[in-house]
A and B are shown apart, each in its own frame.
Chain A
């Protein structure tokens, strides 16, 4: 074994009955037998089919747009252009319920009418009696373009005189961190290490393309059944469509994969406009190619690190510059850039930090949220930098990190004190130990092992003032109902709430039913983004269930003539802890409460910490509620003749605070890790002059069952998270360290590092040609 496994401190977590168990998720069987109805599976009487007419130019003025032939086609119910809906703009702030902050330059026309800024930009909407007629109508739309100079490289777009995509200068956002002194930091250094890293696009490639159905209901509300991560978009849609907020009703469906790609408004705005203009139900389902064209990608970045270190590896100064490509419209780029900025120095204690980050508009596909939200790009750069520091100092990569790893009580680069456990060496040594002995080299094949550590926030930016609500009620037959506006992406968002309520109310999981994702009928729980649902809605559910439990215990204490503290509820019964034979069935208890007018349900609101925005000049201040820490390790075989990289072993170790459903947590770790491996080695979105050249799953390859080995998932539970029962978040963190770990293993095998992913055979061979 390469490293000694660092022992864990003593942790005494309370024994729980339901929480932590790898129980069958409440949503699983419906999906297994095909009962779950996804957004594209709904149909309505008198339903029309909608289609989007999109730009075939990356940068052009529209000189003529004539939809008269399309409108005249029999079976076409309506054709809408930007001239018909001049006020239809998406001017939302950060998606969510708070409405606190306006987003910088977030103004996106729903339909372009004078100028197109990216290939695939929507120009017109069609609704027709059949899909075939809708397709035919698209082909009858006449358009003339006058090509405009485009800009496809953010570095070019920053230069004076570059074509302007976002006025005045294409700068969409800037963030800075200033901590300590660069001058004294570099003076103290024995060595200065400089590298530039390039990180590419990534496509979400969820299996379910965007889909939905909208109609106007009997109360005049535009009702939209759609696959989305954010039902709170009803507010933005109301503004864009020109109706009151309570006249947009979003019924979110089970999401067939999101990963951030269904975080921005997708298809629902088109559905709303078409339903309003036709007064008929309208269905729209993207093809795979359209899905590639229509939704955001993960941001490409160029990240430069200049690091001063002592001979023992201690970092004395870290100067980081980064540029991200926001594409033609900002969407969430300013916030993604903030994440990358604050995470840029990595999970390390550094007294002198300077970060300068810029997001730049181009005529490329627009970029926005993707699992990790800027964290994976930062991690790839800082972990390759740590490896290079180790190489240049002749030290072991773990030893260099150990000197610098953040500890509980330390500050991040923005001055936020970390109060939870920071098990970095603990996770790194366990992930590496799980790889076992290194396979020997053979023939032209070189073997290497490497790892990456990370920190990644869970919960939204604290100055967004995030809240979540959940309603929990006990029915008279002893079953439990939860209502929460949580979108379920398959990660167990809804199931976790059920396990929490089952734990608190002492019923088996089978007795809990949850109703979710309805902007009108379930309490708003906020977005399924930012690794926030377990933390936020989990706590809201815990609060609501605890309030119901207290009502039950109060009534039971009268029945037993015992203090509340002497009582507990489990297996559907209240009982006396000192004499468990004294029981009262929950059914009887519920009836007693009901007949006496006691409240058997509760609506709770959980608030994250609320802070002021960080200082814009120094970046100092709190940014998130807390962080998850962990490490990923990989062993690779690199064929030095073909450049082919094979992953032989992979292991991920994360401190998730507390597992709510162990199988689901492992599923996040393995599945997120696999997306990260694909990002590091395989996934290659080719964009030329703004045009995606790989808009299918046979051109943009994602990992199949044949590509990578099982990722060993190692769960640690410090119990120090801010979520229910001490849980942290794992949805996004699972992906973050995988690509840099593979890059480290490849560098370990070859003795040269490759500062750019995906590490394709071509890049391996090119690296080997270096002296």
Chain B
């Protein structure tokens, strides 16, 4: 098959791109410069490439780019900037939840997906929500703390 033009709406920007049918959304996003979407395994084992696809958190390595035609995609970099970070980004930074940082963008996507549904999760619910995101550095404790702290802040500030 030949490349086909598709439209991707990513972090509020629109891209018209010609892509081969076998390309994953992960590769498409990274080729377009969204390198905050990390590649750790390309088979859905690690969660480093998680993004929102029409509001649902997915591993972008398990989605073909063509399947995302016309979809709204949100990556961790689309949530906030260092000047105006999302409460999860602030909480991860402050709680010591970030070591090497390679799992962080995907982890933040999974955490946001949880808080979108459950603004006041238990620790067990947080563990469950991030169970598809491997972290080799932190041992998860400070990540769970960070999600709890972000939940409190978002509740108080009505943000998110």
Contact = CB atoms under 8 A, between A and B. Distances in A.
Interface of A: 22, 24-25, 27-38, 40-41, 204-209, 254-259, 285, 287-288, 489-492, 663-664, 666-667, 670-675, 696-698, 702-706, 708, 710-711
Contacts of B41: 288, 696-697
Given A207-B38, A671-B139, A672-B139, 5 more contacts: A30-B82, A31-B104, A287-B42, A697-B40, A697-B41
Nearest to B30: A41
Given A671-B137, A697-B134, A706 B128 contact: yes
Given A31-B101, A257-B102, A706-B131, A206 B136 contact: yes
Residue among A35, A36, A675, A703 with the most chain B CB within 10 A?
A: A36
Contact of B93 (A29, A206, A287, A704): A29
Contact of A29 (B82, B100, B142, B144): B82
Given A33-B81, A490-B99, A696-B45, A24 B93 contact: yes
Contacts of A671: 99, 136-139
Interface string B89-107: 1101111101111111100
B8 interface: no
A534 to B, nearest CB: 15
B101 A254 contact: yes
A372 to B, nearest CB: 15
A605 B31 CA distance: 42
Contacts of B80: 33
Contact of B43 (A41, A254, A696): A696
A528 to B, nearest CB: 12
Contact of A697 (B46, B94, B140, B141): B46
A674 B139 contact: yes
Interface of B: 30, 35-36, 38-43, 45-46, 48, 75-77, 79-82, 85, 88-90, 92-96, 98-105, 108, 126-128, 130-144
Contacts of A32: 76, 85, 88-90, 92-93, 98, 101, 104, 108
A666 B96 contact: yes
Contacts of A711: 139, 141
B98 A25 contact: yes
Ranked 9 nearest A-B pairs via Cβ:
A34-B36, A31-B101, A490-B100, A663-B96, A256-B102, A34-B77, A674-B139, A490-B99, A41-B35
A204 B41 CA distance: 14
B45 A698 contact: yes
A322 B54 CA distance: 57
A489 B100 CA distance: 6
Given A209-B40, A704-B134, A33 B35 contact: no
Contacts of A29: 82, 85, 89-90, 93
Nearest to A664: B96
Q: Which of B41, B128, B141 has the most CB of A within 10 A?
A: B141
Nearest to B83: A33
A30 B104 CA distance: 11
B100 to A, nearest CB: 3
Contact of B39 (A40, A672, A697, A706): A40
B99 A491 contact: yes
A32 B99 CA distance: 10
B38 A25 contact: no
A249 B135 CA distance: 31
27 contacts: A24-B94, A25-B93, A31-B93, A32-B85, A33-B36, A33-B81, A33-B85, A34-B75, A34-B105, A41-B30, A206-B102, A207-B38, A207-B100, A207-B102, A207-B103, A207-B135, A254-B100, A256-B38, A256-B101, A671-B99, A671-B137, A673-B139, A674-B138, A674-B139, A696-B43, A697-B40, A702-B136
Contacts of B48: 207
A670 B77 contact: no
Nearest to A205: B136
Contacts of A706: 127-128, 131
Nearest to B40: A207
Contacts of B108: 32
Contact of B141 (A37, A41, A670, A702): A670
A37 B76 CA distance: 14
Interface centre among A34, A256, A258 (most CB of B within 10 A): A34
A702 B131 CA distance: 12
A287 B35 CA distance: 16
A22 B130 CA distance: 24
B101 A27 contact: yes
B98 A31 contact: yes
A663 B136 contact: no
A256 B134 CA distance: 13
A516 to B, nearest CB: 14
Nearest to B106: A207
B128 to A, nearest CB: 7
Contact of B38 (A24, A38, A258, A705): A38
A496 B137 CA distance: 17
Given A257-B136, A706-B127, A33 B77 contact: yes
Nearest to A678: B136
A584 to B, nearest CB: 32
A670 B138 contact: yes
B45 to A, nearest CB: 4
A22 B146 CA distance: 14
A342 to B, nearest CB: 28
A387 to B, nearest CB: 25
Nearest to A209: B40
Which of B43, B81, B92, B101 has most A Cβ within 10 Å?
B101
Give the interface centre of B79, B130, B136 by most chain A CB atoms within 10 Å: B136
Given A259-B136, A704-B131, A33 B141 contact: no
A670 B142 contact: yes
Nearest to B91: A32
